[in-house]
Structure 1
Amino acid sequence: MKRVKGESLTDRLSSAAAAKKALAASFQKKISDPELAERRAANLAVAREREERLAQRSAEKEAEEIRRTAEEAAAAAARTEQEAAEKERLLAEQKAARDARYAARKARQRP
């Protein structure tokens, strides 16, 4: 690093301290700026709205999932009921056919 002639350690330390103070003053000035406060407030409002929208979407998705689950359960119940009715109808047909065969056999045995 190139040194400037005539600059001693104390000169460099004091210039570094002055630079720190200037930087701190710059930040303090920005912090107390009313325009910055307004932008922060606007950003916070936008963030809150975004969180509300996300919460609403989440609630809508959950409601949709519950509705879909209920529909699937209803469809499964209807399908099970239909299968049970079909099985009962088939058993009734088989019993009727068996009874008809039995009656035919008995009719052949009684001349």
Structure 2
Amino acid sequence: MKNVADKFVDRRSTSADAKAAALRAYLAAKEAAEPTLLARQAERKAVAEARDARRMERERVKAEENERIRAEAAEREAAIEAAARAESDEREAAQKNRVSRVIEDEAARKAERDRRYANRKARQA
């Protein structure tokens, strides 16, 4: 039985040595990668800042474009309103002109009727 126990102890110590060696290798690799890790982090940060700057520029350009479109729409709307107002004023002026012509014609007819009536009365007298 001693032979089996020795093999077990050997395997256990070999396993512990392997774990310790793996831990040392991991820590050494981590320490060796520290400068490149910092460089990669700095590079990632620079890329992220550049991306944010580009995004903000796109948003600014988009906002300016939207503002320009809104201004053009407001100008078009104002032009349409002015045209509608001018057309309405023109119709109103035409209506007033027709009304005044009708009144003038009516006044002329009354004056002609009164003149004929006065002539008829003058002939009868």
Give the TM bin, normalised by the shorter chain: 0.7 to 0.9
- Give the drift of 1:47: 2.9
* Partner amino acid, structure 2, of 1:31: E
Q: Which moved more, 1:38-47 or 1:21-30?
A: 38-47
Q: Could you say which residue in structure 2 is the equivalent of 1:62?
A: 63
Confirm or deny that 1:77 pairs with 2:78: yes
Structure 2 distance, partners of 1:84, 1:93, is 14
Q: Could you say which residue in structure 2 is the equivalent of 1:21?
A: 24
1:23-67 deviation line (CA, Å, top 9, x unaligned): 22212211234xx55454444333322222221111111111112
* Partner amino acid, structure 1, of 2:64: A
Which one has a bigger Cα radius of gyration? 2
Confirm or deny that 1:30 pairs with 2:33: yes
Structure 2 distance, partners of 1:42, 1:81, is 58
Structure 2 distance, partners of 1:47, 1:96, is 72
* Partner amino acid, structure 2, of 1:89: E
Structure with a larger share of its residues in helix: 2
Q: Could you say which residue in structure 1 is the equivalent of 2:96?
A: 95
Could you list the runs of 5+ residues in structure 1 that have no partner in the other structure? none
* Partner amino acid, structure 1, of 2:87: E
Q: Which moved more, 1:20-29 or 1:37-46?
A: 37-46
Structure 2 distance, partners of 1:21, 1:84, is 88
Aligned residue pair count: 104
* Partner amino acid, structure 1, of 2:67: I
Q: Which moved more, 1:45-54 or 1:90-99?
A: 45-54
- Give the drift of 1:86: 1.2
- Over aligned residue pairs, what C-alpha RMSD do you find? 2.3
What is the correspondence of 1:2-21 to structure 2 with a 5 Å cutoff?
Answer: 6=8, 7-8=11-12, 10-21=13-24
TM-score (norm 1): 0.74
